[in-house]
């Protein structure tokens, strides 16, 4: 949270000018759209008569009703305590989202039929490919960061060449390069290991930079204190520097993890049966693309939410030593 000032602010959404402005904007916005064909207009039939012939009056009445509901909703939420506010707003946004998907007229039985396979094959593959890649990428990142901070010319050159190369190429191209390029050198590599290798190397390069800046953020005095206790380099790094760098490293690393989870879909191009691959192929036969794509999208989202929750837990853990 931002560090709040002690001034007790009036609640913004209860200020008359704000409520009036909000009302006006929503009213105008919905006047601009012709809502007379929607199911909301059907609900208004007792007031406006046949929606399609209600004309300007109908439009106005519909927009007015929406504006009233919207404004009332916001003002009421303003009274709730913070936790409820967050919960309610999340829920409402979610409902709007579902309402949006409703308009696609998705075939639920089809989804229900394919979902088990989508999860047992697709999600499992996605998860283990990204989990292994994340672990390898983190190891690369620590090594890369140390190399980039060392005054060993070879280590620095190799590490900076590596980060420059793998950050500079599109991930998709790296996947192809590794899958199609390594066999040229005589290493025949399966699709799954090739995918894992590409993801690890690419994300290792990004995370090297994150780890490097995290390590650099630690005060010189910590190194000196640790050395003066007789701790060697490895011990200093593992027990003193990295644990303190973690609070700096974790938020951007959490980002990387989430992004990696979704970028693992790129390995579908070399035929790994992960979530994205199945989402594209399962719906193909019956032209039910949307069903599978939206299911996969929801699954990706849910997995990301899990990662977000894990991240916030870890952040809270490291917050302990910072509060007075």
Partner 1 sequence: MRAPAIIEAKAVSKWYGQFHALKDINLTVRKGERIVICGPSGSGKSTLIRCFNRLEAHQVGDIVINGVALHGKMTNAAVRSNVGMVFQHFNLFPHMTVLMNCMAGPMWVKGVSAANARKTALRFLERVRIPEQANKFPIQLSGGQQQRVAIARSLCMEPAVMLFDEPTSALDPEMVSEVLETMTGLARDGITMVCVTHEMGFARAVADRVIFMDAGQIVEEGTPDEFFSRPRHDRTKLFLSQILKH
Give contact residues for partner 1 (rule: CB under 8 A).
Answer: 219, 221-222, 224-232, 235, 239-240, 243-244, 318, 320-324
Q: Which is nearer to partner 1, 37 or 243 (CB)?
A: 243
Q: What is the dihedral of CA 27, 32, 34, 35, to 10 degrees?
A: -30
Q: Which is nearer to partner 1, 18 or 231 (CB)?
A: 231
Smallest distance from the beta carbon of 238 to partner 1, in angstroms? 10
Smallest distance from the beta carbon of 268 to partner 1, in angstroms? 41
Q: Which is nearer to partner 1, 241 or 270 (CB)?
A: 241
Both structure tokens of 185: 């050198």
Smallest distance from the beta carbon of 245 to partner 1, in angstroms? 10
Smallest distance from the beta carbon of 320 to partner 1, in angstroms? 7
* First-last CA distance in the chain: 16
Smallest distance from the beta carbon of 209 to partner 1, in angstroms? 23
Q: Which is nearer to partner 1, 46 or 232 (CB)?
A: 232
Q: Give the number of other CB atoms < 10 A from CB of residue 199.
A: 26
Nearest 5°: the CA angle 81, 85, 86 is 125
Q: Which is nearer to partner 1, 177 or 225 (CB)?
A: 225
> CA-to-CA distance for 158 and 208, rounded, in angstroms?
12
Smallest distance from the beta carbon of 240 to partner 1, in angstroms? 6
Smallest distance from the beta carbon of 324 to partner 1, in angstroms? 6
Smallest distance from the beta carbon of 160 to partner 1, in angstroms? 26
CB-based contacts of 168, cutoff 8 Å, min separation 6: none
Give burial (CB, 10 Å; 0-12/13-18/19+) of 294: middle
* Residue found under tokens 């760098």: 245
Smallest distance from the beta carbon of 250 to partner 1, in angstroms? 13
Q: Which is nearer to partner 1, 168 or 232 (CB)?
A: 232
Q: Which is nearer to partner 1, 128 or 231 (CB)?
A: 231
């Amino acid at each position: 949270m931002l560090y709040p000032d002690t001034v007790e602010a009036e609640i913004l959404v209860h200020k008359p000018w704000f409520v009036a402005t909000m009302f006006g904007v929503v009213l105008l916005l919905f006047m601009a759209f012709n809502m007379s064909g929607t199911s909301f207009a059907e609900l208004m039939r007792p007031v406006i008569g046949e929606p399609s012939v209600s004309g300007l009056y109908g439009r106005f009445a519909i927009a007015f009703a929406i504006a009233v509901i919207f404004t009332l909703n916001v003002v009421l939420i303003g009274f709730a305590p913070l936790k409820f506010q967050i919960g309610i707003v999340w829920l409402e946004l979610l409902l709007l989202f579902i309402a949006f998907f409703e308009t696609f007229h998705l075939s639920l039985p089809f989804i229900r039929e394919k979902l088990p396979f989508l999860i047992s094959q697709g999600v499992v593959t996605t998860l283990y490919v990204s989990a292994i890649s994340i672990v390898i990428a983190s190891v690369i990142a620590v090594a890369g960061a140390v190399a980039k901070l060392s005054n060993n010319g070879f280590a620095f050159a190799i590490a900076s060449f590596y980060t420059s190369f793998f950050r500079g190429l599109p991930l998709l191209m790296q996947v192809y390069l590794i899958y199609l390029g390594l066999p040229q050198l005589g290493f025949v590599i399966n699709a799954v290991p090739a995918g894992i290798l590409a993801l690890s190397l690419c994300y290792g390069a990004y995370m090297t930079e994150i780890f490097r800046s995290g390590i650099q953020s630690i005060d010189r005095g910590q190194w000196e204190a640790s050395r003066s206790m007789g701790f060697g380099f490895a011990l200093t790094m593992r027990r003193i520097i990295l644990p303190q760098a973690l609070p700096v490293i974790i938020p951007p690393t959490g980002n990387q993890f989430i992004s990696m989870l979704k970028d693992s879909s790129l390995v579908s191009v070399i035929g790994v049966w992960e979530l994205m691959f199945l989402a594209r192929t399962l719906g193909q036969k019956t032209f039910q693309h949307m069903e599978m794509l939206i299911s996969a999208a929801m699954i990706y989202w849910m997995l990301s939410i899990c990662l977000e929750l894990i991240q916030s837990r870890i952040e809270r853990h490291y917050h302990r030593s910072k509060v007075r």
